[in-house]
Every structure is written in structure tokens, then in C-alpha cells.
Amino acid sequence: MNEKLSFACDYAKGAHPDILQRIIQTNMMKTAGYGLDEISESARNRIRKACECESAAVEFLTGGTQTNAVMIDALLRSYQGVIAAETGHISVHEAGAIEANGHKVLTVPHQYGKISAGDVERYLDNYYNDANHEHMVMPGMVYLSHPSEYGTLYSKAELQAFREVCDRFGIYLYVDGARLAYALACPENDVRLKDLAELCDAFYIGGTKCGALFGEAVVVPEPKKIPHLFTIIKQHGALLAKGRLLGIQFDELFRNDLYMQIGGPAIKAAADIKKALREKGYRLCFGSPTNQIFVVMENEALKILGEKVEYSFWEKYDDNHTVIRLATDWGTTESETIALINIL
């Protein structure tokens, strides 16, 4: 249906073949609903094992905005807000889903999509030093995305610094892992699932953009921090009747470490494309080691590119140039990459 090369986003295809196969195999099985089935339980256990956190609660939801909205509402008290990058997905592109549950998104400046523990600490110090802070929204957690919306990565040391700030102020740390597989497959990344389980109060392992048809797996290392999470999910309209569909997908993603490797082709393709772009004299906007590439294009050249390649408009650069985003994914093939490079 679409004959152009597609580098517009990382959710344009269906599922990894292994996942599809498992859905086919299990189709006529009759199981309990709402994720209470055995496959979902198996998936939970595999995720617990991959996180080296046997006691974690694991729940499956259908999408990223939904997961953020549910988990932020689950972790915060009704009067608290969440600190996030001004470019964070929850700050900009969730149509106010966080505020719809009554929570203000408290923004701090970003650098290429990342925020710093120092800036967050300053924000919190300023808040508590302000004589009127009881008239202001109390920060109750920090939201990070890893990789960030700009494809950049936090280091383990940076996450540890966030953990220390959060501990100092008694607030939660939550990581949005919508594209986590692309971090895990990236040589520059030193943050493993085990680290997230140790450092975060909750995080989610993205499926939708990482090989699943849909679905995100929430991990709560210390379940007592969120009692009644099942009911909270239901209250938000986020409980899937045939919950096993999520279980099946994550059971496959965590069978034989598939999730650790599934991002590999995307990282390889992105590296090849970035190398080609540099060689051809294009300007990359900033270093972004995962599956998203941000490049400055001359407007006339972009028009020609657009006839053969689907890309995302990112922002205007100047009157003659535009920043575009090219995204690879788990299913990007070498021939697609070569075809793109030849066009560039």
C-alpha cells in the first residue's frame, strides 16, 4: 500500500514474526481474562528474571500515553505534580493526559531531550526554599524517558544521580521506556534492566515500538508502593479483557532474550545511515546513538527526498533548512538502509 521507503516512525509495521507466530498458535485457547492467565504469568516471571527482581509487580498495558497516565496517577497523591523535561512526551504529546488526572507537569529545561539531576535538585531546592511553596504544586516524582524523545541516552551514573536527588526529597523516579529495546541494543548504553529495577520506583518496558503489535510492561520493583494497581488500571479504562494478548507478546519478547537483541537491526541501520549522512556532508543536529536520526536538510533537497522516503518533520531550522527525523526499527532491513543511503 505504501511504496515509499518508510523511515517516518518506529511503529509503522506489525509484530516481530515470533510474536505473530505465538498469537496464531494460541488463538483458540480458552484462558482467564484480564491478564490472570498462565501465559501472562509466565511473561511476568520472565520479566522479573530479566530484571533480576523476583518480587516485582509486572502489569501489561496497551500504549505509552496510557501507561504514563496510569502510573503517574498511581504513584502521585492527588495534589502532587511530576517533574519532566519540557520536551518530555508527557509535557507535549499526550494531549493533557496527565493533567486529566489532576497532576501538573512541572517542566525543567532539557538538553537534547535529557534533563539533569542537578537541574531537578535546583528545582526542588527552589520549591522548598520558596516561602509560598505550600501554594504551589508539590513535586512528587521525576519522569525520564530512556531513550529520550531525542534518541539520547542517560548513563547509569546519571540515573544514580537522579535516584539520590529523589531520595533526598522523598519523591519517586519513573522511567518511560517506550523505546527501551533500542537503548538495550546500543553500544553506548550502560543501563540494564537490572539497573532500572534497582534505581526506579517504576518503569515500563516498551513493546509497541519494539516489536510488539502493541503493549507496554510496567515494572514496580516494590509492589507495596502501589497497592491496588489492578483496580487503578481498570479505573483508567486500561485493563484489556483478553489480557493474555499482552502476556503472549511479552512472553515471546522475553523468551531467549529476544528483547535484548530486537533493537539490534535498528541500531545497525541508524549507524550506517548516520555514517553515510556525515560522509555526504549533511549536518546531524546532535549525537543520538539510538534509532532516531535528526538531520538538517536543505529545503529543496528535502522536497526531492520526500518523493521517495517517508520521514518526520521535526522543526524549522532557518528559512532554507529544515530538521527532519529518520527512524529505524527492529524490522529495518539492510536493503532498505542501502536504498535510503543511495537516495540521500
Residues 13-52 that bind a second copy (CB under 8 A): 13-15, 17, 20, 23-24, 26-33, 37-38
By CB under 8 A, what part of segment 155-214 binds a second copy? Answer: 208-209, 213-214
- Closer by beta carbon to a second copy, 80 or else 189: 80
Residues paired with 296 in a beta bridge: 283, 323
Q: Are strands 292-298 and 309-310 parallel, antiparallel or unpaired?
A: unpaired
The one-character DSSP state at 123 is H
Catalogue the E-assigned strands of 189-271: 202-206, 216-220
Residues in the chain: 344
Beta carbon of residue 239, minimum distance to a second copy (angstroms, whole number): 7
Q: Which amino acid is at 163?
A: R
Q: Which range touches a second copy (CB under 8 A), out of 149-157, 235-243, 279-287, 289-297?
A: 235-243
What are the residue ranges of helices labelled H in 170-263? Answer: 180-184, 193-199, 229-235, 244-253, 258-261
CA dist 46 and 255 (Å) reads 7
Beta carbon of residue 237, minimum distance to a second copy (angstroms, whole number): 3
Beta carbon of residue 198, minimum distance to a second copy (angstroms, whole number): 27
By CB under 8 A, what part of segment 323-342 binds a second copy? Answer: 331
Asked whether the bond before 187 is cis by omega within 30 degrees of 0, the reply is: no
Instruction: Out of 54, 135, 224, 300, name the contact with a second copy by CB under 8 A.
Output: 135
Angle made by CA atoms 83, 89, 90, in degrees to the nearest 5: 50
Q: Which of 155, 161, 202 is nearest to 183 (CA)?
A: 155
**Interface characters, 86-115, with a second copy (x: CB under 8 A):** ------xxxxxx-xxxxxxx----------
C-alpha torsion sign, points 157, 159, 160, 161: positive
Number of H helices, E strands in the chain: 15, 13
Q: Which range touches a second copy (CB under 8 A), out of 47-55, 142-150, 189-197, 237-245?
A: 237-245
Instruction: Out of 44, 236, 274, 325, name the contact with a second copy by CB under 8 A.
Output: 236
Can residue 66 be called a binding residue for a second copy (CB under 8 A)?
A: yes
Beta carbon of residue 70, minimum distance to a second copy (angstroms, whole number): 7
Instruction: Out of 196, 232, 267, 305, name the contact with a second copy by CB under 8 A.
Output: 232
- Closer by beta carbon to a second copy, 81 or else 151: 81
**Enclosing H/E stretch for 300:** helix 299-308
Q: Which range touches a second copy (CB under 8 A), out of 155-163, 233-241, 260-268, 286-294?
A: 233-241
Beta carbon of residue 73, minimum distance to a second copy (angstroms, whole number): 6
Instruction: Out of 53, 56, 62, 200, name the contact with a second copy by CB under 8 A.
Output: 62
Q: Which range touches a second copy (CB under 8 A), out of 78-86, 257-265, 269-277, 288-296?
A: 78-86
CA dist 153 and 145 (Å) reads 9
- Closer by beta carbon to a second copy, 197 or else 295: 295
- Kindly determine how many residues on this chain lie close enough to bind a second copy according to the rule CB under 8 A: 78
Cell numbers for 245: 494478548
By CB under 8 A, what part of segment 272-331 binds a second copy? Answer: 310, 313, 331
Beta carbon of residue 84, minimum distance to a second copy (angstroms, whole number): 13
Spell out the residues 6+ positions from residue 192 whose beta carbon is closer than 8 angstroms to its own: 184
User: Largest Cα–Cα distance of the chain, in whole Å?
Assistant: 63
Beta carbon of residue 242, minimum distance to a second copy (angstroms, whole number): 6
- Closer by beta carbon to a second copy, 31 or else 160: 31
Count CA within 13 A, CB hemisphere, residue 146: 29
| First-to-last C-alpha distance (Å) of the chain | 23
